Structure 1
Amino acid sequence: MHITTQKYQITAEQRAKIKNQKPFVIWFTGISGAGKSTLADWIDEKLHAQGYHTVVLDGDNLRQGLNSGLSFSMQDRHENIRRAGQVAKLMHEAGLIVICAFISPFAVDRQQVRALFGDKFIEIHLDMNLESAKRNDQKGLYALAASGKINNLTGVGSDYEVPADPELRINTDEMSIEQSGQQVFDLVLSKMNRSVTLLGQ
């Protein structure tokens, strides 16, 4: 294949500088119902209120557009996360703080995404036990899996490989959205050498 990388005058560093921020990828992983999308939305709102330039990539939303042609086979699940990582890379190079909410059940896929960003990648495992996730089943996925209408749902018919060493692990069984969000803020802002207290606002 005769493909070369096209170079442009404006660098990723310049795009970040004009936004007065350090771009990061915040990657929420966990089983369905653990609170990934809820926490991603909360963090996005709070960062935006503080003047940060952000974007959210959500697994369900990407599967309605860019990844709409992918199934939930093993091969397509790997491809789903590969594409998500590449989109996050483009957003990161634009100087944005990219907030990602994907089950991303396989360690190899998460490691491949991490490799795109080095120390600008923050993996956050939302740790919720399966029974609690079933009770928190707002999308009805576990009920559909129990009735046989969904096969290979992560945590039921397909394994979830728990991250061995994430930057942050949050037990969403025990912590409120505000408490969880403050932990994420403390971590992200510490990497930018800034501090904002949001708990209780």
Structure 2
Amino acid sequence: MLLDPCFLALYAGLALGVLGTVVALEAAQPYIGRVPPIPSVPRVRRAVLGALRRHWCSTPAGARVWELGSGWGGLALAIARDFPEAHVVGVECRTLPYWVSRARLILAHALGRCRNLSFIREDFRALELAPCAAAVGFLLPDVLRGLPGRLPKGCVLVSAVFPVPGLVPLDTHTGPTLRTYAYAYRIGSPLEQAAQPPVPV
């Protein structure tokens, strides 16, 4: 049976109203030092995953990995797929990206994937980050500056695109144009150590 056109118009209006409200709420939220929620490109994902593989060895089962400012969820999903023994937690404070990432996770679960991943809607600056084995973020330098002091000694920190001010990376992961896509650090390592040569991705 066909629906009455009036009901269809009403449903369409309600859907647009809800969408408009969500977009307005999203626009009203500050960026709080985050990079705008642009989906991570494949080169950045490969660089971040490569940095984790190189510096995060002998991962204990259930070790926590944070993605701080997880946006639309693509990078967190990739980390969960590559490190099935880890417990990956994506943290996102903005409404729309959070719910999109949740929807993607529901779909992944329906396909039997990424059971080791969860998303929470929080401001990561207010979270207790320890204990954790690794942390990943696509964050602006002002936010990165205070992050190492909140992570436990020995934790691997991988920063996408931006370096952590004041720290010397263990190494950098670059693309074909020699642009740096990821910086790898280990919390508690000597700051004066010499950086290793860039790793192509």
Q: Which has the higher strand share?
A: 2
Q: Which has the higher helix share?
A: 1
Superposed pair shares fold, TM > 0.5:
no
> Which has the bigger relative contact order, CA under 8 A and spacing at least 6?
1
TM-score range, shorter chain: 0.3 to 0.5
Higher Rg of the two aligned structures: 2
